[in-house]
Structure 1
Amino acid sequence: MTKPVTDQTLQNLDARSRDIFRLIVESYLEHGEPVGSRNLSRLLPTSLSPATVRNVMSDLEQLGLIYSPHVSAGRLPTQQGLRFFVDAFMEIGDLSEAERNVIDAQIKASGQAHSLEHLLTEASQMLSGLSRGAGLVIAAKTEAPLKHIEFIQLEPRKALAILVMQNGDVENRVIDLPAGVTAAQLVEASNYLNAHIRGRTLAEARAEMARLKEETRAALDTLSQSLVEQGLAIWAGAEGDIPARLIVRGRAKLLENVSAQADLELLRHLFEDLETKEALIQLLQLAEEGPGVRIFIGSENKLFSLSGSSLVVAPYRDEQARIVGALGIIGPTRLNYARIVPMVDYTAQLVSRMLR
């Protein structure tokens, strides 16, 4: 039975043990394959026999830092070992000038010429392109002032609600209609809302509708009033509504790193999890729980307990320094953390500056 990895683990390792552990992890991050004592003895800066290396590997295995996937095979780092390496050994590098220029050019061009949605989509796509993983962005509901709202009937009991913001963003949502609603009532509801909500945020518009409730009741019949209230409730964050939207780009990158059918099933579980309301809320909370970039390896968070993937995530902020979303990279546990951490951090800072 292995011992749990604790803060004292580093103190229990001598220089030789540290060198061997570091080589095992670095080989795994680079190649994804177990490394044996004979190869390690050739890679070490000091001359050690394979037998001596095996003894050290046995000690590392007892500490819970490495394991053998097969009998007589080399060793791989455990999830605990990867976390220990990230916390105790990994040296975070800096972005190259070329990488910084690529991020600057794509984010700034997207932010200046397009909507917030386009900016975030480009950020997600760019992170995927610069890494071996999928780029992920969680975007909280925006509070931009409203310009126009319109309802278009799709079916007798369904309509498309179109919200146009003054910053140019457009949001669409299919909503349920009260029984018996007519096209004329949809137009009437739209006209009434547009007369009162222009220039207000969703929260302000909802408050205004509450204040004008008696006027609303007198001006509209029961069906139209129900439609007005439902339309506003959807966009003001009614209970049960998703508080954020998810943008994932580069899913194929994850599939390139797996071959076994079991691994493909784990990734499918990951994407199913990501598309639930609970996952969206969790990811925003992950970013809010600590400053700067956070690293989650494998099952450290229940969101990834089935997929075995890792997440490097950082929050981005609005002009009031409020956290309004998070961005990051999802990938295999052998991500190049030292390279990806500064990449995610820099992108989050740049997106925050674009939102000010």
Structure 2
Amino acid sequence: MSIQELNERSRAVFRNIVESYVQTGEPVGSRTLSRLPQLDLSPASIRNVMADLVDAGLLYSPHTSAGRLPTQLGMRLFVDGILEVGNLTEEERIDIKARCIIEGRNIEETLSEASSMLSGLSNCAGLVIAPKKDSSVKQIEFVRLGIDKALVIIVTANGMVENRAIELPVGLSDSALQEATNYLNAKLSGKTLQETKSEIQRELDTHQVQIDQLTQDLISSDIASWGGGETLIVRGHSNLLQNVQALEDLDKIKELFDTLEAKKERMKLLELAEGGKGVKIFIGSENNLFSLSGTSMIISPYQNSQDQIVGAIGVIGPTRLNYARIVPMVDYTAKIIGGLLD
């Protein structure tokens, strides 16, 4: 069904029910609606319209309540045909930009802050899928942190910086650490980690490279764990949990977060976001990932300077999300994040 198939009276009643639901989460009755000046309809007339909307699958009656709530189909119809997306104020744009762009902070810290920011602004859970690690490597460095530890810094061509603390082989000298740096930069420059892992390991196994054994041990022991795919950052779990009333629903929300941690589900999320440019809205069981928890997701991909989609950012919340307010927030934040990537 399209919104054009509803007459003007039905559209007006339907719109007011959905907007009331988004604000309160409560069923709306005919008497309440009849008091709205914009409708100018009697309770009896409204009940007739509501009955037709129930027959059309757009509304339902929860429990024994006399009020009505929108179904998932109804919410989709509202989002696609009635929703008027608002615009961010200049103050909101300045605030979002200021919180995302802080000098001296790496991209991972920026993404974490963006997720927290969206969580706070939407009162939902904010999520970010960090850029895929299959971008070519621009530079790699080892920075010694102590006798037996070092920091690996991997800078990719799309602007991502990955920092990872590693254990060093006992007795590894500074010169050996520099030797490992030089070797890896020569092998990885302009290539992805995935492209060169097997080649590097083969050279180490067959001693084709002229580096000492401790340096070989360093490279061999840690390279397998680098560049391990997309990273999911979720902030504001409590925002989603605090509105849950039934224990059963609480378990479903927790299961959703557990599922999101799985690598294959992170990839599915990114694939959803990559299905075209711009913000996408998924409501309840429209996507298997959210079918059990009954939640919705607003998500947008973000791109690097080469217009390549490298990640996604969004919000997870109840189906009665304030879509009109959150959609432009997600859209603008995705553009800001993309602008930070080379």
The reply to whether TM is greater than 0.5 is yes
User: Equivalents in 2 of 1:168, 1:284: separation in Å?
Assistant: 17
Q: 1:286 aligns with which of 272, 286, 293?
A: 272
**Please, what TM-score do these two structures have when normalized by structure 1?**
0.82
Matches within 5 A, 1:227-266: 228-229=219-220, 231-235=222-226, 237=227, 241=228, 243-266=229-252
User: Equivalents in 2 of 1:104, 1:300: separation in Å?
Assistant: 32
User: Equivalents in 2 of 1:78, 1:316: separation in Å?
Assistant: 31
Whether 2:315 is the aligned partner of 1:329: answer yes
Give the percent of matched residue pairs that are identical in Structure 1 and Structure 2.
Answer: 47
CA contact (8 A) 1:120 1:137 kept: yes
Give the drift of 1:227.
Answer: 6.1
**3-state DSSP of counterpart to 2:85:** coil
Q: How many residues align?
A: 332
CA 1:174/1:67 → structure 2, altered by over 3 Å: closer, same or farther? Answer: farther
CA RMSD between the two structures: 3.1
CA 1:160/1:28 → structure 2, altered by over 3 Å: closer, same or farther? Answer: farther
CA contact (8 A) 2:166 2:222 kept: no
CA contact (8 A) 2:274 2:309 kept: yes
Q: What's the counterpart of residue 195 of structure 1?
A: 182
Q: What's the counterpart of residue 88 of structure 1?
A: 81
CA contact (8 A) 2:300 2:314 kept: yes
CA 1:160/1:89 → structure 2, altered by over 3 Å: closer, same or farther? Answer: farther
**3-state DSSP of counterpart to 2:130:** strand
CA contact (8 A) 1:146 1:163 kept: no
Q: 1:120 aligns with which of 90, 107, 111?
A: 111
User: Equivalents in 1 of 2:210, 2:104: separation in Å?
Assistant: 44
Q: What's the counterpart of residue 353 of structure 1?
A: 339
**Please, what TM-score do these two structures have when normalized by structure 2?**
0.85
Task: Identify unmatched segments of 5+ residues in structure 1.
Answer: 1-5, 154-158, 176-180
Q: What's the counterpart of residue 301 of structure 1?
A: 287
Q: 2:153 aligns with which of 164, 172, 182?
A: 164
User: Equivalents in 2 of 1:219, 1:12: separation in Å?
Assistant: 74
Q: What's the counterpart of residue 137 of structure 1?
A: 128
User: Equivalents in 1 of 2:160, 2:297: separation in Å?
Assistant: 32
Q: What's the counterpart of residue 273 of structure 1?
A: 259
**3-state DSSP of counterpart to 1:198:** helix
Give the drift of 1:128.
Answer: 1.1
User: Equivalents in 1 of 2:88, 2:207: separation in Å?
Assistant: 59
User: Equivalents in 2 of 1:220, 1:245: separation in Å?
Assistant: 34
Give the drift of 1:219.
Answer: 4.8
Give the drift of 1:303.
Answer: 1.0
Greater mean alpha carbon deviation, residues 112-121 or residues 26-35 = 112-121
Q: Segments of 4+ in structure 1 off by > 6 A?
A: 150-153, 185-189
Matches within 5 A, 1:6-21: 6-7=1-2, 10-21=3-14
Whether 2:90 is the aligned partner of 1:97: answer yes
**3-state DSSP of counterpart to 1:335:** coil
CA contact (8 A) 1:161 1:231 kept: no
Q: What's the counterpart of residue 170 of structure 2?
A: 183
Give the drift of 1:257.
Answer: 2.1
Q: What's the counterpart of residue 106 of structure 1?
A: 99
Greater mean alpha carbon deviation, residues 144-153 or residues 92-101 = 144-153
Task: Identify unmatched segments of 5+ residues in structure 2.
Answer: none
Whether 2:67 is the aligned partner of 1:74: answer yes
Give the drift of 1:189.
Answer: 7.8
CA 1:27/1:66 → structure 2, altered by over 3 Å: closer, same or farther? Answer: same
**3-state DSSP of counterpart to 1:43:** coil
Q: What's the counterpart of residue 196 of structure 2?
A: 206
User: Equivalents in 2 of 1:168, 1:303: separation in Å?
Assistant: 28
User: Equivalents in 2 of 1:332, 1:272: separation in Å?
Assistant: 17
